[in-house]
Amino acid sequence: MTMADDDVLFEDVYELCEVIGKGPFSVVRRCINRDTGQQFAVKIVDVASFTSSPGLSTEGEEHKCRERESQRA
């Protein structure tokens, strides 16, 4: 997906599969790219619960995810 694909839904590109992890504000599920068959893990955050908790922000969580991604490259 690219920035030009803003109108493309996640479900159009990926098939959500089983839950592989849970946390207080999120769930991690296996997903499969519908075109390539490549498997990924996707973290789905309950934003309402997450942002109402003191000291937590979606920006901080995004930063952590980007750090992990750069360490794998």
Domain assignment of residue 27, given as a range = 8-72
In this structure, is residue 36 part of a structural domain?
A: yes
Taking residues 9-30, report their average pLDDT.
Answer: 95
Contacts of 45 (CB under 8 A, 6+ apart): 25, 26, 58, 61
Q: What is the pLDDT of residues 32-69, one digit of tens each?
A: 999 999 999 999 988 887 666 566 566 666 666 677 67
Kindly tell me if the per-residue pLDDT of 14 is higher than 90: yes
In this structure, is residue 52 part of a structural domain?
A: yes
In this structure, is residue 1 part of a structural domain?
A: no
In this structure, is residue 39 part of a structural domain?
A: yes
> What pLDDT shows up at residue 17?
98
CATH code, domain carrying 29: 3.30.200.20
Whole-angstrom distance, CA of residue 8 vs CA of residue 4: 9
The two tokens of residue 24 are 């207080």
Whole-angstrom distance, CA of residue 73 vs CA of residue 54: 32
- More confident: 11 or 49: 11
Q: What domain count does the chain have?
A: 1
- More confident: 8 or 52: 8
